[in-house]
Structure 1
Amino acid sequence: MATDNFDHQGPKYLTNLDWENHEHQRIVAACLVKAAYVLEGDRREGRSGEDQLAPPWWEFFGFELISTLVNLESSLSSFSIGAVFRLKAASGTSPFAPAMVIAVRGTIDHHDWGVNVDTLLGRGRQRHSCRIVMEKAESLVREHGMESNLWLCGHSLGATVATFVGDQMAKKGCFFTTFLFNPPYILNRRSKDGFIQKLDDIMQAAGGLVGALMVGNVGFAGANLYAVAKILHDMDKEKKEQLQHFDNMKAGDQAALAKNLHDKERQDQLQQFDNLNKWDPRVYVNPKDYLCTRYIKYFKNKKMKGSPNKLPKRLASATLFINWDKPGDRCLRSKVAHSIMQCFVKPEDTYRLFKEAHSIMQWWKPGLRVEAKRYVMA
Structure 2
Amino acid sequence: MSIEREIFSSSGPFHLQNIDWSNAIHRRSVAASLVQGAYNLEHDRKGSSHSQAPPWWEFFGFQLHEVLVDDDDGSYFGAIYESKYYNQYSHCNPPRYVIAFRGTLTTPENRKQDLILDFQFIRHNLHKCSRFDRALQAVLSIVATTCPGNVWLAGHSLGSAIALIVGRKMVSMNKSYLETYLFNPPFDSPPIERIKHEKIKDGIRIASSFLIAGLASMVHQHQEKTEEMNDDSFGTLCEWVPYLFLNRSDPISCEYIGYFAHREKMVQIGAGKIGQTATQNSVVSVVSDAIGKDYEAVHLIPSAYLTINLSHVSDIKQAHGIQQWWRPDIHCDFKFYRYK
What TM-score do the two structures reach when normalised by structure 1?
Answer: 0.66
Correspondence for 1:106: 103
Indicate if the aligned counterparts of 2:235 and 2:339 stay in contact, CA closer than 8 A.
no
Correspondence for 1:374: 336
SS in structure 2 at match of 1:64: strand
Unaligned runs of 5+ in 1: 188-261, 327-342, 344-351
For 1:17, which of 6, 16, 19 is the aligned residue?
19
**Are the structure 2 counterparts of residues 100 and 353 from structure 1 closer, same or farther at C-alpha, using a change threshold of 3 Å?**
same
Correspondence for 1:86: 82
Indicate if the aligned counterparts of 1:269 and 1:311 stay in contact, CA closer than 8 A.
no
SS in structure 1 at match of 2:69: strand
**Cα deviation 1:24-59 (Å, max 9, x = unaligned):** 000000000000000100000254xxx311000000
Q: Distance in 2 between matches of 1:9 and 1:169?
A: 34
Q: Distance in 2 between matches of 1:371 and 1:360?
A: 18
**Cα deviation 1:90-149 (Å, max 9, x = unaligned):** 688444521110000001121311001111221111111111111111111111134x32
**Are the structure 2 counterparts of residues 152 and 11 from structure 1 closer, same or farther at C-alpha, using a change threshold of 3 Å?**
same
**Cα deviation 1:139-175 (Å, max 9, x = unaligned):** 11111134x3210000000011111111111223011
Q: Distance in 2 between matches of 1:288 and 1:145?
A: 37
Q: How do 1:238-317 residues align onto structure 2 when only pairs under 5 Å count?
A: 270=232, 272-303=233-264, 312-313=280-281, 314-317=300-303
Aligned-pair identity in percent equals 33
Q: Distance in 2 between matches of 1:319 and 1:45?
A: 38
SS in structure 2 at match of 1:72: coil
Is the counterpart of residue 175 in structure 1 residue 177 in structure 2?
Answer: yes
AA in 1 matched with 2:101: V
The alpha-carbon deviation at position 309 of structure 1 amounts to: 9.6
Q: Distance in 2 between matches of 1:21 and 1:274?
A: 29
SS in structure 2 at match of 1:151: strand
The alpha-carbon deviation at position 274 of structure 1 amounts to: 4.9
**Cα deviation 1:265-324 (Å, max 9, x = unaligned):** x88974x54531110001111011011111111111124867999993411100111000
SS in structure 2 at match of 1:133: helix
Indicate if the aligned counterparts of 1:96 and 1:149 stay in contact, CA closer than 8 A.
no
**Cα deviation 1:239-261 (Å, max 9, x = unaligned):** xxxxxxxxxxxxxxxxxxxxxxx
Q: Distance in 2 between matches of 1:308 and 1:268?
A: 11
Indicate if the aligned counterparts of 1:62 and 1:91 stay in contact, CA closer than 8 A.
no
AA in 1 matched with 2:72: E
Indicate if the aligned counterparts of 1:181 and 1:283 stay in contact, CA closer than 8 A.
yes
**Are the structure 2 counterparts of residues 311 and 300 from structure 1 closer, same or farther at C-alpha, using a change threshold of 3 Å?**
closer
AA in 1 matched with 2:99: I
Correspondence for 2:208: none
Q: Distance in 2 between matches of 1:294 and 1:284?
A: 12
Q: Distance in 2 between matches of 1:325 and 1:360?
A: 14
| Paired positions, count | 272
Indicate if the aligned counterparts of 2:40 and 2:53 stay in contact, CA closer than 8 A.
yes
AA in 2 matched with 1:357: A
Q: Which has the higher helix share?
A: 1
For 2:31, which of 17, 29, 32 is the aligned residue?
29
AA in 2 matched with 1:85: Y
AA in 2 matched with 1:168: K
Indicate if the aligned counterparts of 2:157 and 2:183 stay in contact, CA closer than 8 A.
yes
Indicate if the aligned counterparts of 2:85 and 2:94 stay in contact, CA closer than 8 A.
no
Correspondence for 1:235: none
Q: How do 1:114-125 residues align onto structure 2 when only pairs under 5 Å count?
A: 114-125=116-127
Q: Distance in 1 between matches of 2:250 and 2:242?
A: 19
**Are the structure 2 counterparts of residues 273 and 90 from structure 1 closer, same or farther at C-alpha, using a change threshold of 3 Å?**
closer
AA in 2 matched with 1:32: L
AA in 1 matched with 2:94: A
What TM-score do the two structures reach when normalised by structure 2?
Answer: 0.73
Correspondence for 2:67: 68
Q: Distance in 1 between matches of 2:6 and 2:161?
A: 23
**Are the structure 2 counterparts of residues 8 and 126 from structure 1 closer, same or farther at C-alpha, using a change threshold of 3 Å?**
same
**Are the structure 2 counterparts of residues 295 and 269 from structure 1 closer, same or farther at C-alpha, using a change threshold of 3 Å?**
closer
Indicate if the aligned counterparts of 2:180 and 2:242 stay in contact, CA closer than 8 A.
yes
Indicate if the aligned counterparts of 1:71 and 1:81 stay in contact, CA closer than 8 A.
yes
Indicate if the aligned counterparts of 1:3 and 1:9 stay in contact, CA closer than 8 A.
yes
**Are the structure 2 counterparts of residues 39 and 273 from structure 1 closer, same or farther at C-alpha, using a change threshold of 3 Å?**
same
SS in structure 2 at match of 1:283: strand
RMSD: 2.7
Farther-moved stretch of structure 1 (303-312 vs 123-132) = 303-312
Q: Distance in 2 between matches of 1:91 and 1:57?
A: 21
Q: Distance in 1 between matches of 2:85 and 2:18?
A: 17
Q: How do 1:181-192 residues align onto structure 2 when only pairs under 5 Å count?
A: 181-186=183-188
SS in structure 1 at match of 2:301: coil
